[in-house]
Amino acid sequence: MTAIDIKIADLPVPTGRMVKVVTFVGSLDESNVDEHSKIIYDMLETLAQAAVVIFDFAQLDYMNSKSIGYLTDWYLKISDEKGGMLVLTQATPGLLDVLDTVGLLQIVRNFPTMDEAVAFAST
């Protein structure tokens, strides 16, 4: 199985809004995404209404098409079911290229830096 490490942290913001930062280290591919997607789905179960979820892709080297399918499903669950927002930050040029190609960057916002993502989540 390809290596992937997913860590979730709460980020306190002045508005009191729930903000979660999810850090991915490694690659998401056919060999690991089904198993590790459960980590995200478990988090979504506990997500408050109108929460902001920041996916930090700085150390995510690769996503295959099925992983992008999961990303789309997570986006829909956060926005449609929770009334919240999913944003990306620090995605590599290779990841941005593939996300743009499948049309996801028309829907999910990417911030070049974590500071910008946190500033957005704090408003």
Q: Is residue 33 classed exposed, middle or buried when 0-12, 13-18 and 19+ CB atoms within 10 A define those classes?
A: buried
68 touching another protein, by CB under 8 A: yes
Q: Quick one: 43 or 98, whose CB is closer to another protein?
A: 98
From candidates 14, 45, 93, 123, binder to another protein by CB under 8 A: 93
Q: Which of 9, 48, 107, 119 binds another protein (CB under 8 A)?
A: 107
Strand partners, 24: 6
DSSP letters for 22-72: EEEEEEE-TTTHHHHHHHHHHHHHTPPTT-EEEEEEEEEEEE-HHHHHHHH
Stretch that binds another protein, among 10-18, 41-49, 64-72, 109-117 (CB under 8 A): 64-72
Binding to another protein by residue 97, rule CB under 8 A?
yes
Task: Indicate the residue among 35 and 115 with the shorter CB distance to another protein.
Answer: 35
DSSP string, 77-106: IIIIITS-EEEEES--HHHHHHHHHTTGGG
Residues of the shown chain interacting with another protein in the complex, contacts defined by CB under 8 A: 1-2, 27, 29-31, 62, 64-66, 68-70, 72-73, 75-76, 93-94, 97-98, 101-104, 106-107
